[in-house]
Amino acid sequence: MSEEAQMSNPVLIAAFEGWNDACQAATNVIRYLVGRYESREIRHISCDGYYDYQVARPMMCHAAGYANLIWPQTTFYDIALSPQYHLYAQIAPEPNYRWRQYCNESLAIAEELDVNQIITMGSMFSDCPHTRPLPLSISDSKCQCEGDREYNGPVGIPTVLDVAAADQGFAHASMWVSIPQYLGSDECAAGTIRLLHALGKHIGYTFDTGDLQSKAEQWKAQASVLVRCNDQLGDYVSHLEHEYDLKKKADEEASLGAPQAEQLVREAEDYLRQMGE
């Protein structure tokens, strides 16, 4: 058994650049954790056979007078949140080819590391306002959780990896944050924070969000300026706010359960009876 595998109940989080990563909110979770905590690269998956280099192009990097090509690849990190608590992370551009084989290779590494749960993360553009908490969709192998809705349609590699993990018997979870589509593709620290909080709640750990909070506030302030300068956009955001608030109220009422709902009905009936007297 490897040194890494000796940790108790290790978790692997995975995020992928591209279609599944609106405003880099999902992959920035891993970049932030790698930069904030003591981390080291422990595994890689070679790029050969998985990428179309006209889509995921290699990058030229000059250092110390030498030119180096950096090819797209998958990197696994061991992130030490504390001396006793480690987290594994997988980050890569979304592969272009052979997704089944790619997922099998990813899960083989997870098994080698004795991972007992795999958490995939993504971010997507959506019709939601920047003035409200960004919507989360979370599900796991035990329950359908906050904001989760049945989805039918195209999927990316996080979903394929999540399904493959389930098929191979891993505990698994999926976390997605929605990003306002009207704000373009600039990085969204608010979305990254939402995913970090969701991840922390899921694994029972409180992350230090550091300067992410100030970046999120700056993102929101810039969005508000943009909205104030465009009456049509302002009307659109007001419409989104109204829909968001209605949905939140409906969800809260639906979560009350039968006894509370019956009490609300009785209170409404008493009020109407008094109005008629």
State the pLDDT confidence band at 2, using cuts at 50, 70 and 90.
very low
User: Residue 123: which residues within 8 A CB-CB, separation 6 or more?
Assistant: 20, 21, 22, 23, 24, 25, 26, 176, 177, 178, 179, 188, 191, 195
d(CA 123, CA 20): 6
The answer to whether the beta carbons of residues 69 and 109 sit under 8 Å apart is no
State the pLDDT confidence band at 5, using cuts at 50, 70 and 90.
very low
- Radius of gyration in angstroms for the set of CA atoms belonging to the chain, rounded to a whole number: 22
**3 has pLDDT over 50:** no
Q: Residue ranges of the domains in the chain?
A: 4-210, 230-277
Write down the residue that tokens 């594994």 correspond to: 88
**7 has pLDDT over 60:** no
Overall residue count recorded for the chain in this entry: 277
Residue type at 250 in one-letter notation: A
**38 has pLDDT over 50:** yes
The answer to whether the beta carbons of residues 193 and 212 sit under 8 Å apart is yes
pTM of the model: 0.85
* Residue (of 72, 71, 89, 69) closest to 10 by Cα position: 89
The answer to whether the beta carbons of residues 180 and 233 sit under 8 Å apart is no
Q: What is the dihedral of CA 212, 203, 35, 7, to 10 degrees?
A: 170
Tokens of 277: 């007297």
d(CA 221, CA 145): 30
Mean pLDDT of 18-41: 96
Per CATH, the homologous superfamily of domain 4-210 is PAC-like subunit (3.40.50.10900)
DSSP 21: B
d(CA 116, CA 272): 55
Mean pLDDT of 171-187: 95
d(CA 267, CA 277): 16
User: Among positive and negative, which fits the CA dihedral 261, 266, 270, 273?
Assistant: positive
What percentage of the chain exceeds 70 in pLDDT?
Answer: 86
User: Among positive and negative, which fits the CA dihedral 246, 252, 258, 261?
Assistant: negative
